[in-house]
Structure 1
């Protein structure tokens, strides 16, 4: 019973990281595709201002996922990180490089330095979600077993590649939707249209990739395919499908604020659908939740610590997101920093 509860917590943490971290990665994706220095100047300006207040806190969800994995499901953690050490290591390096690139490109004095750090940030924002998705696809396809050792086949297979592409596409979707809403907040109609068009394009890419993935999993990951087309997994697939046209419609409404909610619903529903499709396995069809769980005493303490974290940390994170989406966490500008104390001129 307690193992099942902790597994649900892990599921929700993965979904939260896919949505929060995915929005960050998506902003980096659009930074990469914005064009040259002049053409991409305004989109990159918006990306910098939108990400500045929250880009660090989004990785809290990843830390939460890792702690639950190695504490609550140590055998699962061992199998995944043994078989998938290369893509996960590359994703970890990507997180470090994109953070450094984002922070240093604004501090660099020379144009060449800003371009270098900007390229590191943008390319890492593309590769990191791909490698995370590829590792998840290897798990979904059942290639991560006790006997599996690190190999290309574990993560460079049809299901893994499609999961990786879906991770990139959903990140691009979330990034474009949130940036379109931020452009409205900054009263920049040209950027609103710019990111709105890209959000619709990303929605179409997500829909196409989702259909292709469903077809491929029929032969490459049959247990997951069955879970996605039956029961609870199917319910969340339908929710994601319904959220797709709803997001497109809301993007073109006057305010468009609710498009962020439906976009998060699309991505969150898709992640939960995959996780529900694996039941009762952590790794289809070789490791169940019960078999991969740690000692019951450990699980009970983990549940208690998780409850404390939810009570103390979750409200603060939610408040941060709320303040950010309402535009109350704008970074200081050069003019603000040069202004005399007390607002004197």
Structure 2
């Protein structure tokens, strides 16, 4: 029973990575788009692409916290007590990102709009870094067992966490760039299509380099995880490499139709390989999945709730994404205040 719940949790983490991660990555490209004039077109595409769905994607994060807290309470306690600093930064970043994304459409002056835009973009980079750093701290055994607090600084500011945090930021940027290539192509904008295609290629190469560095770091800081990565977790690792290479080839050749699917598979397989590499531990070499699990009755109830969520909530998500892809949803937020001013002056 605990194995089934752990599998559900891993799938939820992968889902949040490929959907929510792409939203954060879009903020990275917003940050690096350039000045107000040069970056206007990329930023408009980013805003139009993530607007209808960015709030919905955080449901996966809430689901992850609820499942971990309900099914593995002692591990949840250990992680939150040890990682309260990056968790607090991530929570603040999510709130700041959402507020900035909404408010920058309602202000008129360029200076204030740039402030909100900068806060949106910076928090979009900070949040995935914190989540990646937490994963690195867990994988390298820096979260103590028994619901005890570990080092609040060294647990997430260490070589493993820095590499995994950086990898999370790069992967989010990579996914966003691949998605935005598709969005620009659907809009018939060849300039933006090439713009994001080049960035997708560069971020794919950077992600491969950071992942290779991560392997070297894990070999010394997390020998258990590294050992299983090159044995039991090798199939998802190989599938990730092949999918990432296939997406890269399609992007380089300008045939991006299948690149999005391959990019999603590549990133999801990285998450799955991490889960397999840690198995059977939730906290490597200290707490196993079965030892940390809540009573059987709790696990059964949780799985029933998950099943009901799949039947009730998942169709709504599918409908949301289908409507968004078909451009049948209104743009997120209020009408742009600056556009109203311009229209009034023109009239």
TM-score bracket, normalised by the shorter chain, equals: over 0.9
Which residue matches 1:268? Answer: 268
Q: Secondary structure at the match of 1:153?
A: coil
Kept in 2, the 8 Å contact 1:49–1:330? The answer is no
Show the 5 A alignment for 1:227-266: 227-231=228-232, 233-252=233-252, 256-266=256-266
Describe the superposition over 1:287-324 as per-residue Cα deviations: whole angstroms up to 9, x where unpaired.
Answer: 10011111111111101000000111112212222332
Task: Name stretches of at least 5 consecutive residues in structure 2 with no aligned partner.
Answer: 341-347
Which residue matches 1:298? Answer: 298
CA distance in 2, matches of 1:166, 1:148: 26
Of 310-319 and 239-248, deviating more is: 310-319
Show the 5 A alignment for 1:182-331: 182-231=183-232, 233-252=233-252, 256-331=256-331
Please say if 1:88 is aligned against 2:87. yes
Change (3 A) 1:334 1:70: closer
Quote the offset at 1:252 in angstroms. Answer: 4.6
Describe the superposition over 1:243-301 as per-residue Cα deviations: whole angstroms up to 9, x where unpaired.
Answer: 11211122255662321111111110001101110000001010100111111111111
How many residue pairs end up in the alignment? 335
Which residue matches 1:62? Answer: 61
CA distance in 2, matches of 1:187, 1:45: 14
Question: Where has structure 1 moved over 6 Å in runs of 4 or more?
Answer: 332-335
Q: Secondary structure at the match of 1:107?
A: coil
Kept in 1, the 8 Å contact 2:201–2:252? The answer is no
CA distance in 1, matches of 2:110, 2:228: 51
Describe the superposition over 1:162-192 as per-residue Cα deviations: whole angstroms up to 9, x where unpaired.
Answer: 1100000000001100011100111111000
Q: Secondary structure at the match of 2:57?
A: helix
Which residue matches 1:341? Answer: none
Kept in 2, the 8 Å contact 1:82–1:150? The answer is no
Q: Secondary structure at the match of 1:202?
A: helix
Show the 5 A alignment for 1:30-41: 30-41=29-40
Q: Secondary structure at the match of 2:49?
A: helix
Kept in 2, the 8 Å contact 1:91–1:127? The answer is yes
CA distance in 2, matches of 1:123, 1:275: 29
Task: Name stretches of at least 5 consecutive residues in structure 1 with no aligned partner.
Answer: 339-345
